Structure 1
Amino acid sequence: MSKILTTHVGSLPRTQDVVDFIFARENEKPYDQADFDACMTAAVSETVKKQVDAGVDIVSDGETSKISYATYVKDRYTGFSGDSPRNAPADLKMFPGFLQRLADDGGTPQYARPMCTGEVRSKGQGELEKDIANLKAAMAEHGAERGFMNAASPGVISLFLQNDFYKTREAYLAALADAMKAEYETIVASGLDLQLDCPDLALSRHMLFNDLSDEEFVKVANMHVEALNHALSDVPADKVRVHICWGNYEGPHCCDIGMDKVFSTLMSTKSRFVLFETSNPRHAHEWTVFRDRKTEIPDDKVLVPGVVDTTTNFVEHPELVAQRIDMFTQIVGADRVIAGSDCGFGTFAGFGAVDPDIAYAKLSALSDGAKIASERQ
């Protein structure tokens, strides 16, 4: 039997104590730094324990200390101030009644999205080093052998923290790549795997680039990958995971660009592991893209399909999870498939459609399904 490993995209539900500290910092309210640090350490330990208990093989810190997977950079790098314009996804604009309902129900997370108004430079790796120390300590405490840490890609930073300083998008991406390079290298040097979150390669098609054709957008996405690969120039590809998605929200998703259009872009990233959605009802059929374009999948790539959804409180049956895994093991073999989730469960601090306890029940179903799929090999 070939054991199929399990992982997830990265973010997990945060406790209220964690959320309160994060928003105190976000809103520039007074808080005790030592208490903040102690809270994060304890929360990461509990988050790792819950992943281990759920049977997850490759764990993360749940992005516990971060306000969100992309905008956390405003706290760790200079050059950001003011506010960026909000761009609702095109599919939500098509259904204004639903968009208003989301807003009325608090379904639209509120947090600062400053513009880039100056030179982007690192403030140092102190906050990152705390995150790394917390994750490694928790892994040692709870017996997790392999872990990963998320980091924002240059492209996704440019999506949420828009440019009002550099002369061109290319120049902004280049500056972000240069600035983020040390963060990526620090994560890998610690012994952890590095995950780059890259929804800009799909989501931004219907958020920021509605005026472009699909072909024109793909050129932009390829430019984003060039910047990312530059930032990864000194990082071994076998330590890198890249996550692509169309936005972690329950919505129509009828404006999403197809996987077939961005497949080559995804495969061109300097990464061994590629994470993508296959439980999302708008993209579940796209496993056939991987089947039909098998010869275009580099031999060193490991596929990490999302086999549990992260926007609903259904707990998938393990047999369904196994069937979803089977589709990909039949394409590239069990040794080149890791079972994952569609997106993170806690993309934004204090906001998530899935109940925290149900999130871990889904991860247990993920592990149970992977066991079934492994036994079939």
Structure 2
Amino acid sequence: MTIRVTHVGSLPRTQETVDFIFAREREEPYDEQAFAAQMTAACDEVVRRQVEAGIDIVSDGETSKISYATYVKDRYTGFSGDSPRNAPADLKKFPSFLKRLAEGGGTPKYARPMCTGPVKSKGQDELKTDIANLKAAMANHGATQGFMNAASPGVISLFLQNEHYGSRDEYLAALSDAMAAEYRTIVDAGLYLQLDCPDLALSRHMLFADLSDAEFLKIAASHVEALNNALQGIDPSRIRVHICWGNYEGPHVCDIPMDTVFSTFLGVNADQLLFETSNPRHAHEWQVFRDRKAEIPDRKILVPGVVDTTSNFVEHPEVVAERLLRFAGIVGSGRVIASSDCGFGTFAGFGSVDPEIAYAKLGSLSEGAALANSRV
């Protein structure tokens, strides 16, 4: 069977799109009709470019969102103010590099409110607009499969921390209840639902660095439980879950190993598993999937990141094919989808990779998948 091609979701926004998003973020006056028209046009263009690059399963590029997690503050009540930043533990080990990132604009600037009240939906108007824009763009450019990203309860709790609920578990339960309708709406629209879950790996060295691995795994398990509660009744074959260790260039010497979080990752009720394998700290971890193959249910589809999203190197298609064939050798080509490590535009207006190079990488991703398909 053919290895299809996708990516993790976010793609670079144009400057005009970023300007509109930040005008809204800063509560500055802006033309709402012009905003809506820009988001529709930008989504159409981003889908066109994905199809042109050979992507089989496209997204809206998260065009209208300020970031993959903090967008929830615009769609749900209970969030206000801002919160102090906590650098990942690996960057703290190299303060000169952390200083260089901060002074060189290497860290995105946007509000990360706290949870200061009950979390409730403000309605699904923005979500339905995003879905309509994506489906229209897919129809315009002949894309037959699409997905839309949504934040998991765990990643929301990581970036928008709790000052209202009596405990982390209460907060997670409230987030689970609130997000469930968003998840179902995406799937009911005929799209794949992608759940972004860096809380299952990144948060180990970002928020829980003082805990043992065993203690962290208990917290991660509670995040998975909250997520699975929100997914009740949704067909797992329509769900993708993405785990990562942080989409930033850095030493990553504090990343928890895939082998340690493997069972937790597989515990999400999602059939498509997206994970990093181009990141040099995790490129060897394809061996975890080989060595623990017996633990991978037959319905699970592996979606390895075979191009990096923090470097402007464009991976050679032969490298992409080589990486994909490793996984095809483990579970068969019909259970492998080619992807990127993370998103190329995780935060609006910020990204390590030049926008044109991002699309060159997607093109190389497609070429590499074609090479792999010719060899299986």
- The TM-score with structure 2 as length reference comes to 1.00
Deviation of 1:235 after TM superposition, in Å, equals 1.1
In 2: Cα distance, 1:82 partner to 1:45 partner: 33
Per the alignment, residue 98 of structure 2 pairs with 99
Instruction: Give 3-state SS (helix, strand or coil) of 2:4's partner.
Output: coil
Per the alignment, residue 49 of structure 1 pairs with 48
Per the alignment, residue 317 of structure 1 pairs with 316
Deviation of 1:299 after TM superposition, in Å, equals 1.0
Per the alignment, residue 121 of structure 1 pairs with 120
Per the alignment, residue 4 of structure 1 pairs with 3
In 1: Cα distance, 2:233 partner to 2:46 partner: 31
Per the alignment, residue 80 of structure 1 pairs with 79
Per the alignment, residue 70 of structure 2 pairs with 71
* Total equivalences in the alignment: 376
Deviation of 1:83 after TM superposition, in Å, equals 1.4
Provide, for residues 55-98 of structure 1, a one-character-per-residue CA deviation record: whole Å limited to 9, x for no partner.
00000000000000000000000000111221100000000100
Deviation of 1:339 after TM superposition, in Å, equals 0.4
In 2: Cα distance, 1:37 partner to 1:82 partner: 26
Per the alignment, residue 372 of structure 1 pairs with 371
Instruction: Give 3-state SS (helix, strand or coil) of 2:5's partner.
Output: coil
In 1: Cα distance, 2:326 partner to 2:163 partner: 45
| Runs of 4+ with >6 A deviation | none
In 2: Cα distance, 1:187 partner to 1:12 partner: 19
Instruction: Give 3-state SS (helix, strand or coil) of 2:207's partner.
Output: coil
Provide, for residues 238-293 of structure 1, a one-character-per-residue CA deviation record: whole Å limited to 9, x for no partner.
10000000000000000000000000001010001000000000000000000000
In 2: Cα distance, 1:128 partner to 1:235 partner: 18
Per the alignment, residue 174 of structure 2 pairs with 175
Instruction: Give 3-state SS (helix, strand or coil) of 2:194's partner.
Output: strand
Per the alignment, residue 17 of structure 2 pairs with 18
Deviation of 1:131 after TM superposition, in Å, equals 0.2
Paired residue type of 1:224: H
In 2: Cα distance, 1:91 partner to 1:135 partner: 37
Provide, for residues 103-126 of structure 1, a one-character-per-residue CA deviation record: whole Å limited to 9, x for no partner.
111011010000000000000000
In 2: Cα distance, 1:249 partner to 1:211 partner: 21
Is residue 2:264 matched to residue 1:265?
yes
In 1: Cα distance, 2:270 partner to 2:285 partner: 21
Provide, for residues 164-214 of structure 1, a one-character-per-residue CA deviation record: whole Å limited to 9, x for no partner.
000000000000000000000000010000000000000000000011101
Deviation of 1:153 after TM superposition, in Å, equals 0.2
In 2: Cα distance, 1:82 partner to 1:318 partner: 46
In 1: Cα distance, 2:230 partner to 2:177 partner: 6
Deviation of 1:3 after TM superposition, in Å, equals 1.6
**1:32-47 alignment runs, 5 A limit:** 32-47=31-46
Per the alignment, residue 338 of structure 1 pairs with 337
Alignment gaps of 5+ in structure 1: none
In 2: Cα distance, 1:70 partner to 1:277 partner: 19
Per the alignment, residue 30 of structure 1 pairs with 29
Per the alignment, residue 212 of structure 2 pairs with 213
In 2: Cα distance, 1:263 partner to 1:64 partner: 31
Paired residue type of 2:10: S
Paired residue type of 1:97: S
In 2: Cα distance, 1:23 partner to 1:34 partner: 16
- The TM-score with structure 1 as length reference comes to 0.99
Paired residue type of 1:11: S
Instruction: Give 3-state SS (helix, strand or coil) of 1:150's partner.
Output: strand
Is residue 2:238 matched to residue 1:239?
yes
Deviation of 1:366 after TM superposition, in Å, equals 0.3
Per the alignment, residue 293 of structure 1 pairs with 292
Q: CA RMSD in A?
A: 0.4
In 1: Cα distance, 2:246 partner to 2:145 partner: 27
In 2: Cα distance, 1:344 partner to 1:298 partner: 26
Paired residue type of 2:265: L
State percent identity of aligned pairs.
74
In 2: Cα distance, 1:343 partner to 1:334 partner: 22
**1:135-154 alignment runs, 5 A limit:** 135-154=134-153
Per the alignment, residue 229 of structure 2 pairs with 230
Paired residue type of 2:253: C
Paired residue type of 1:331: I
Per the alignment, residue 196 of structure 1 pairs with 195
Instruction: Give 3-state SS (helix, strand or coil) of 1:304's partner.
Output: strand
Paired residue type of 1:139: M
Paired residue type of 1:194: L
In 2: Cα distance, 1:41 partner to 1:272 partner: 30
Paired residue type of 2:150: A
